[in-house]
Amino acid sequence: MAQSQLAYNNNFTLFGSYDYGTSAPKLDPVYEPQKKPAKKQTTVKKQKQTQTVSKSAVKATQASFIMSVKIVAVLAVIFSFFSVAMFLNGMLDETATDITKIESEIKVARSENVRLESALEGMVAIDKVEDYAENNLGMVKLENYKITYFESDEGNHVVVSGGKSYSDKQPGSKITGLTEYIQ
């Protein structure tokens, strides 16, 4: 059926064409497909078209270029400010960390100082000194009835071991007495 429809749709010559004035059928002439004429190759030269641009358009173009350059420069400055701010915040964080470490070291040193001072006070306490003098050095605490006070009009005179003496009556005797005692 598809073939018959195709033939029916495309080829009307099968039905024939009649001229109503004659009894003989007329046949359609056979047409040969026409060839398209070859295009002539012609060279066409294009001429440059010159456009006239007004001064206001040139100024507008220059102004937009300058504006874009300004925007890029402002963005670069803003970016550099943010970069510097971030760098400085990093440095600030590092410095704060260092300060915290040093403060903790100071606290440790202060607590060690307090411990050492309390140990020193314990070592130099009067009770410990008396105990050391009595037990290790064999010294005895002087009691009030063993102390004798006397006054002399001649001045103070001290006799030390080795027969050396010290008196404050002679001029410069304090110095010579001390040097004698040291020697």
Q: What is the pLDDT of residues 68-95, one digit of tens each?
A: 999 999 999 999 999 999 999 999 999 9
Q: Is residue 80 part of a domain?
A: yes
CA angle 21, 25, 27 (to 5 degrees): 120
Instruction: Judge if pTM exceeds 0.75.
Output: no
What SS3 class is residue 53?
coil
Cα-Cα-Cα-Cα dihedral sign, residues 58, 59, 64, 68: positive
Q: Which domain holds residue 165?
A: 150-182
Predicted local confidence at residue 176, as pLDDT: 55
- Tokens for 119, please give them: 């140990």
- Pair (74, 133) in one structural domain: yes
Q: Is pLDDT larger for residue 137 or for residue 151?
A: 137
Does residue 92 form part of some domain?
Answer: yes
Spatial separation of the C-alpha atoms in residues 15 and 111, rounded to whole Å: 126
- Measured over the CA atoms of residue 58, residue 59, residue 60 and residue 61, the dihedral's sign is positive
State pLDDT tens for residues 103-141: 999 999 999 999 999 988 888 788 888 888 888 888 887
Q: For residue 17, give every residue at least 6 positions away whose Cβ sits within 8 Å of its Cβ, in sequence order, or none.
A: 25, 26, 27, 28
The reply to whether 117 and 70 lie within a common domain is yes
Please report whether residue 1 resides in a domain: no
> Does any domain span residue 114?
yes
Say what the pLDDT of residue 75 is. 97
